[in-house]
Copies of this chain bind each other. A is one copy, B any other.
Amino acid sequence: MVQPTSAPRNARARAREELTREIVETARIHLTSDGAAGLSLRAVARDLGMVSSAVYRYFPSRDELLTTLIIDAYNSLGETAEQAEAAVKRTDLNGRWLATSRAARNWAVERPHEWALIYGSPVPGYQAPQETVVPATRVTSLLIGILIDAYTTGQTPTPLPVPRAVHASIAPVRDDIPQGIPDDLIIRGLMAWSQLLGVISMELNGQFHNVLTDTDAYFQTAMHRCAIDLGIS
């Protein structure tokens, strides 16, 4: 009885699954063209030839649909980055970092609205539920893996002092990584991560207008310098 009563319910259940997927797909299309704020349940319903109220059978609210899109976006980005990173030789830490960061940027440039959804200003009135936490960590886990390998192979930069308050502040990070990683390396990792997010977001938000003519070239150099700071270049 572990198996769900399968045969008879499947007809309905399958139709439901399919329609749910169609709604999400249509919503993502709207998202990529109009952004999160322009995502309209009614418009999605119209595209699917159904009436707006029918959509509420599948998603109890607009926010619920947004949550699905957010999780999908995290997973899409995470998978893209993981594949890029996995294609690099394990010992090439610099290459792994560059592959990861470049994959993230390419993904973001292709889907600016989905990037904004997960790393941009939060949608007002929307509270990210717990289910989004795990997929959100996929990219950072890659970075952590690189740092761990850097530490275990002894490729660490000469550490700068870390104030006591900062040592205490990064306590939550310690729960997710092996013991022994120095504070300094964690700080460098966090700063590389915020550099990555910062540069990508600035590019997408148009902050480099009248500043850079070739954002890609700048990005590569910036990430290269991050690698130097991390001691893996």
- Asked if B172 and A212 sit within 8 Å, CB to CB, the answer is yes
Main secondary structure of the interface of A (DSSP, over half): helix
- Asked if B123 and A213 sit within 8 Å, CB to CB, the answer is no
From A123, A169, A195, name the one whose CB has the most chain B CB atoms within 10 angstroms.
Answer: A169
On chain A, the number of residues with a Cβ less than 8 Å from chain B's Cβ atoms is: 55
Provide the bound-state CA to CA distance between A116 and B37, in Å: 14
Please encode chain A, from 113 to 127, with 1 for each CB lying within 8 Å of some chain B CB and 0 for all others.
000100111111100
Minimum CB distance partner of A112 in chain B? B121
Identify the stretch in A41-49, A72-80, A198-206 within 8 Å (CB) of chain B at 4 or more residues.
A198-206
Partner among B163, B211, B221 whose Cβ is within 8 Å of the Cβ of A217: B163
A210 at the interface (CB under 8 A from B): yes
A170 at the interface (CB under 8 A from B): yes
- Asked if A172 and B210 sit within 8 Å, CB to CB, the answer is yes
- Asked if A222 and B205 sit within 8 Å, CB to CB, the answer is no
- Asked if B228 and A160 sit within 8 Å, CB to CB, the answer is yes
Collect the chain B residues with CB atoms within 8 Å of residue A19's CB: none
Collect the chain B residues with CB atoms within 8 Å of residue A228's CB: 160
